[in-house]
Amino acid sequence: MSLRRNMARQRNIGIVALIFASVIFILPFVYIFLMAVKTKQEAALFLFSWPQQWQFWQNLVDVVKTRNYMLLLAYFNSTVITVGAVAMLVIFGAMVGYVLQRRPSGWNRVIYGCILIGLMVPPAVVPTIWVLQGLGLFKSIYGMILIQVAYGLAFSVLLYRSFISTIPRDLDEAAIIDGATPWQVFFRVILPLLKPVTVTLIVVQSIAIFNDFTNPLYYLPGKENVTVQLTLFNFQSQFQSQFNLLFMNILLVTIPPLLVFIFFNRQIVAGMTAGAVKG
Amino acid sequence: MKRRSPYPYWFVLPAAVVFVTLFLLPTVASFWFSLTRWDLFDAEFIGWDNYRQFFREPFLVQGLVNTLIYAFVTSGAKTVLGLLLAVLLTGGIWMQGFLRSVVFFPVLVSTIGVGITFAALMHPTKGVINLGLGLVGLHGPAWLSDPALALYSVALIDIWKGVGLATLIYIAGLAAISSEYYEASRIDGATRWQQFWRVTVPLVRPATVTVVTLSLISGLRSFDVIWATTRGGPGFSSDVLASVIYKQYQAGFYGLATAGNVILFLLITIIILPLTWWFNKREIDL
């Protein structure tokens, strides 16, 4: 009796929550989609309404063609930056996390200090531009990749360090006795075992770097260097009267994270809550 | 003979080179450049002039005040709403998994896209929000174009986008609380309300520490949402330190922009370090 009443109650709360969540969290996305498929005139009304005339394909083609296929270039640049930076974050981060966890020494305090600084301190933008210019890396994709590595390292090292502590040292020692060099122990024995946390790191950092707006704005100016988030920002002024195209562009940048979210939900949750329980 | 460690320090080297050159070096250099008039090539030492200017110009001071308001409003709201949503979404309600995903998804979406979408939704006359309020007989405000309201409207967008992360962290924190505490308190006759305040809130503390720290840091550094919606306007009413820094940089005042950066750095340190210390101290007391 009471159990059934309790279940009915849970169900009712669920329905109410579902309605609220739909209005607050889902409707904005529905709105993006509806605006993206409308005609120019209809989109200018800003209404939350069913499109009188569907123009999905044409809007898509128009957005892609804008400014001489700028969006395609932007997707290419963003992909290169994301893949390059994440690859380095995985290797460099795992190497530091490994030594940090396995070899206690006075240097560890220095490394922990750097991690704290890296997580907390806002980057000093203009002096960074000055350094990049000195190295010939300002306005260059390579410079942008290294910046993303520098800013993402702290999180990467922390994630790897805590995971490596669950891998028994016996494995390292067995490999060493078999005559493996430190290089071989790490790349042949340890790194393959880090796969679960590596997948988490790849997913979380990819989304962060792909969505990054501020850093390309500062360090990667120039038409040929445009990234996905910057096209959106540039089109904001260009499409003042073409909100259908602006929202089609928003739809296009929303789909990659949606796909990643559907396929890697578990890894994202693991990455985002790392350290939440232990503090 | 001393055996060489199988964990050589040169493993740290690649990471250290990148981090020191592109993060530590600019941070250290910022203290010097903030004391200069600077065009990226020549720096002329001018003492504390940049800082004096920062605290004398009313719009720069307003940027500082706005940063604090923005950070505390968004962080407070994310903490409270995140905990409430997490409690709701761990209670075994219908469609729980789906609801968790729905609340969390905005975290992964482009901030610029979210900003543009909400700028349309918050349009004073044509926007969906005000039309919706009109349906129930309310007169909606000019969210982003009213100088008295703009900062809070942007904060609202930020909360919408970020509350999912707080909820997720709290869900992980709640899962770590043993159900025995709830059973024991129920046998002792505690109400749901008492359980929430006496069991959930104290035991979910590690998650609270994470949520408060993370959201305060990101709130103090916030730039994207503001730049995508108001660009600090109308006037300077929604400018924060990060947007002031960008505007001074665009105008070519590199020394002044760097001084703004140092002020932001000090502000975060002054707020976060004592907070972390206080959180850790309380932990030992427990």
What confidence tens digit (pLDDT) does each residue in B219-266 have? 999 999 999 999 888 988 999 999 999 999 999 899 999 999 999 999
* Contact assignment for A28 to B121 by CB distance below 8 Å: yes
Minimal Cα distance from B257: which residue of A? A126
CA distance B2 to B278: 44
Query: pLDDT at position B286, please?
Result: 44
CA distance A98 to B220: 32
CA-closest candidate to residue B79, choices B191, B205, B232? B205
Sole residue written with tokens 């502000």? B267
Task: Choose the closest CB to B120 out of A13, A124, A243.
Answer: A243
CA-closest candidate to residue A183, choices B15, B16, B7, B18? B7
Q: What φ, ψ does residue B43 adopt, rounded to 5°?
A: -115, 125
User: What residues of B are in contact with residue A117 (Cβ under 8 Å)?
Assistant: 23-24, 27
User: What residues of B are in contact with residue A261 (Cβ under 8 Å)?
Assistant: 101, 105, 108
* Contact assignment for A257 to B108 by CB distance below 8 Å: yes
Burial class (CB in 10 A: 0-12, 13-18, 19+), A227: buried
Do you find a cis peptide bond into B234, omega within 30 degrees of 0? yes
Q: Is A263 on the interface with B (CB under 8 A)?
A: no
3-state helix, strand, coil in chain B (%, to 5): 75, 0, 25
CA distance A132 to A134: 5
What are the residue boundaries of the structural domains of chain B, listed by start? 48-285
Task: Let me know: does B104 contact B167? Beta carbons within 8 Å.
Answer: yes
* Region of residue B95 (left: phi > 0; alpha: psi -120 to 50; beta: else): left
Task: Choose the closest CB to A182 out of B7, B126, B261.
Answer: B7
CA-atom Rg of chain A in angstroms:
24
Query: pLDDT at position B283, please?
Result: 61
User: What residues of B are in contact with residue A207 (Cβ under 8 Å)?
Assistant: 108
Sole residue written with tokens 């006037």? B235
Which tokens go with A121?
Answer: 């301190």
Q: How far is A201 from chain B (nearest CA, A)?
A: 14
CA-closest candidate to residue B36, choices B258, B249, B245? B258
* Contact assignment for A150 to B23 by CB distance below 8 Å: yes
* Contact assignment for B106 to A120 by CB distance below 8 Å: no
Query: pLDDT at position A187, please?
Result: 93
Mind listing the pLDDT tens digit of every residue in chain A (279 residues)? 466 777 777 778 878 878 888 889 999 999 999 999 999 888 888 889 899 988 999 999 999 988 888 999 999 999 999 999 999 999 999 999 999 999 988 889 999 999 999 999 999 999 999 999 999 999 999 999 999 999 999 999 999 998 999 999 999 999 999 999 999 999 999 999 999 899 989 999 999 999 999 999 999 998 888 999 999 888 877 777 789 999 999 999 999 889 988 998 888 888 887 755 443
Query: pLDDT at position B3, please?
Result: 63
CA distance A244 to B87: 39
* Contact assignment for A121 to B268 by CB distance below 8 Å: yes
Query: pLDDT at position A126, please?
Result: 94
Residue B202 burial (CB count, 10 A): 12
Task: Choose the closest CB to A95 out of B11, B22, B261.
Answer: B11
CA-closest candidate to residue B230, choices B161, B134, B157? B157
Which tokens go with A137?
Answer: 């890396």
Interface predicted TM-score (ipTM) of this complex, two decimals: 0.89
Binding-face residues of A in 177-196 toward B, CB within 8 A: 182, 185-186
Q: At what angle do helices B254-285 and B58-88 cross, to 10 degrees?
A: 40
Residue B94: half-sphere exposure toward Cβ, Cα within 13 Å = 14
Q: Is A278 on the interface with B (CB under 8 A)?
A: yes
- Place domain B48-285 in its CATH homologous superfamily: MetI-like (1.10.3720.10)
Q: How far is A228 from chain B (nearest CA, A)?
A: 10
Q: Is A239 on the interface with B (CB under 8 A)?
A: no
Query: pLDDT at position A3, please?
Result: 64
Q: Return averaged pLDDT per consecutive 10 residues of chain B, 286 residues in all.
A: 75 95 95 90 87 89 94 96 92 84 91 93 90 89 91 96 94 90 90 90 90 94 93 89 93 92 94 87 58
Tell which of A13, A125, A145 to mutate to test the B interface (max B CBs under 10 Å): A125
Q: At what angle do helices A195-211 and A56-102 cross, to 10 degrees?
A: 130
- For chain A, domains (ranges, CATH) are 63-272 (1.10.3720.10)
Minimal Cα distance from B204: which residue of A? A277
Task: Let me know: does B38 contact B254? Beta carbons within 8 Å.
Answer: yes
Helix/strand/coil (H/E/C) assignment for every residue in chain A: CHHHHHHHHHHHHHHHHHHHHHHHHHHHHHHHHHHHCCCHHHHCCCCCCCCCCCCHHHHHHHHHHHHHHHHHHHHHHHHHHHHHHHHHHHHHHHHHHHHHHHCCCCHHHHHHHHHHHHHHCCCCHHHHHHHHHHHCCCCCHHHHHHHHHHHHHHHHHHHHHHHHCCCCHHHHHHHHHCCCCHHHHHHHHHHHHCHHHHHHHHHHHHHHHHHCCHHHHHHCCCHHHCCHHHHHHHHHHHCCCCHHHHHHHHHHHHHHHHHHHHHHHHHHHHHHCCCCCCC
Tell which of B32, B34, B103, B117 to mutate to test the A interface (max A CBs under 10 Å): B117
* Contact assignment for B117 to A250 by CB distance below 8 Å: yes
DSSP class of residue B198 equals: I
Helices (H) and strands (E) in chain B, counts: 15, 2
Residue type, B244: V
Task: Let me know: does B150 contact B230? Beta carbons within 8 Å.
Answer: yes
* Contact assignment for A277 to B24 by CB distance below 8 Å: no
Task: Let me know: does B107 contact B162? Beta carbons within 8 Å.
Answer: yes
